[in-house]
Amino acid sequence: MYLIGLTGGIASGKSTVAKRLAALGAVGIDADQLAREVVEPGTPGLAAIVAEFGNDILLAEGSLNRAALGTVIFADQTRRERLNAITHPAVRQLTRDRVAAAGAADPHAIVVYDVPLLAQAVAGGLVTFDLIVVVHAGAGTRIQRMVDLRGLTREEATQRISAQASDADRLALADVVIDNTGTVDATLAQVDALWERVRTAEAHANRVSNDIRSPLSEL
């Protein structure tokens, strides 16, 4: 199995890159989706969030009102840290389970773990990545995208960028940087080139592994 860590700041275009890699044949694991799963109605995660933040962060049918919760946590670092303390352990365990399942289903799978908090995943020893890919666009570009595409105010967009790791911190981890400041076609061309590189690397690793095992199988 070949494991790619994919990250990027909010509105950087990370989802576009992840979708392209999945279309090319990668197995995608989305940390944001896992984070939604661990707070579904009836889960211990949602119960803990309600105990911490109150019933106002619930929708009428009992599911999490993510917009209301976001308004609270992006304006208050302490409360954001409390939320992370509730959700991150559950997401980490689910991540390990999904990565293990992907490897068991196909030992030669190319798995893409799409995760905003990649630096924390690396530092915490969550998984070991074969390659770290950072999707990059400047803060000004991302703010404008959030205003235009998500309907946020500039203040709200700036708060959300400030709540994440800095561009410098993300780029310091990168083995590959996908520049998403140009056209969609330009971005996808970079992803396609990355895919060919990764397929070659995985095939080479497989050949080396087979070469190592072959003499032993003859004993």
Query: What is the count of structural domains for the chain?
Result: 1
219 in a structural domain: no
Q: Could you tell me which residues come within 8 angstroms of residue 190 by beta carbon, excluding any fewer than 6 positions away?
A: 178, 179
203: containing domain: 2-212
107 in a structural domain: yes
CA–CA separation, 75 vs 78, rounded Å?
9
CA–CA separation, 162 vs 169, rounded Å?
13
How sure is the predictor about 107, in pLDDT bands with cuts at 50, 70 and 90? very high
CA–CA separation, 44 vs 27, rounded Å?
28
24-65 pLDDT per residue, tens: 999 999 999 999 999 999 999 999 999 999 999 999 999 999
- Mean pLDDT of all residues belonging to the chain: 89
Please give the model's pTM, rounded to 2 decimal places.
0.82
CATH code of 181's domain: 3.40.50.300
183 in a structural domain: yes
Average pLDDT over residues 60-89: 92
217 in a structural domain: no
110 in a structural domain: yes
181 in a structural domain: yes
